[in-house]
Amino acid sequence: MNSPFSSSWRERLTPAVRMGLSISVATGLYGVSFGALSVAAGLSVLQTAALSLLMFTGGSQFAFIGVIAGGGAGSAALGAASLLGVRNAVYGLQMSRMIGPRGLARFLAAHWTIDESTATASSQNDAAEQRRGFWIAGGGVFLLWNLFTLVGALLGDALGDPRRFGLDGAAVAAFLGLLWPRLREREPVALALVCGVVTAVAIPRLPAGLPILLAAAVGAAWGVWRSRAHALPAAPDIVPACTSEESREAS
């Protein structure tokens, strides 16, 4: 006999919840890598934990410690991190309309608006699922990212190179899992390929973080062009009839 609790759990584990939980685990585990690399770059355990808690955007955090590890000044590290964080402001405009948080929830939503929560919410068609996916992914990543950042920072050199565990590929695989169901028509496939080529060409030529911003700009430009193309008024199918005066002159 099936337990009523099992059916209740199945109802609660909607597609958005399952997606949010899976991407939270995949991304959160990668926090071990950030924690270890941050301490290796010269930051203390407390500083490393504060970065994940307050900055909370992986790309910006890795850019920050990358500049520090390379001998750059704190202002240069902050500038690189801020540049990468611009994308979250763009996400925020979309999520504000989609999720519609109110009151104090707006501040929490702003802090949890990252790649993962935005992608999870955007991949849903139902409004309730969009909100559910955003909060599950945002909260799950926040909790696990900070937890495993602390683990990586405390273990430090004992971990060796974190990339040998394949954690750097876990987040990429999670994003591919989110992207794949969206590629049902030729246009999204073409846009994904164009952005991929742009990123691949830009990686050896631009500083870290800028290639993905360039690809995002290409995608945004495509979206603006498409929206304007659809907004253009269609040509009239019927030629207006001439006035009675014009018909008399013609006759």
For 158, 180, 187, 219, 248, the CA distances from 191, given in Å and listed in that order, are: 42, 13, 6, 7, 56
Q: What is d(CA 229, CA 223) in angstroms, rounded to the nearest whole number?
A: 10
d(CA 122, CA 227): 18
Higher pLDDT, 76 or 155: 155
Q: Is the pLDDT of residue 211 over 90?
A: no
Structure tokens at 207: 């500083």
Task: Give the tens place of pLDDT for each residue, 70-124.
Answer: 777 777 778 778 877 887 888 888 899 899 888 889 999 999 999 899 989 998 9
Give CA–CA dist 61/6, Å, rounded: 40
Provide the whole-model pTM: 0.67
The Cα–Cα gap between 67 and 81 comes to: 9
DSSP 63: H
Amino acid at 207: P
Length of the chain: 251
Rounded to whole angstroms, the Cα distance separating 109 from 99 reads 9
Please say whether the beta carbons of 138 and 22 come within 8 A: no
pLDDT in tens, 121-141: 998 989 999 999 999 999 999
| Contact assessment for residue 140 and residue 24, using Cβ atoms and an 8 Å cutoff | yes
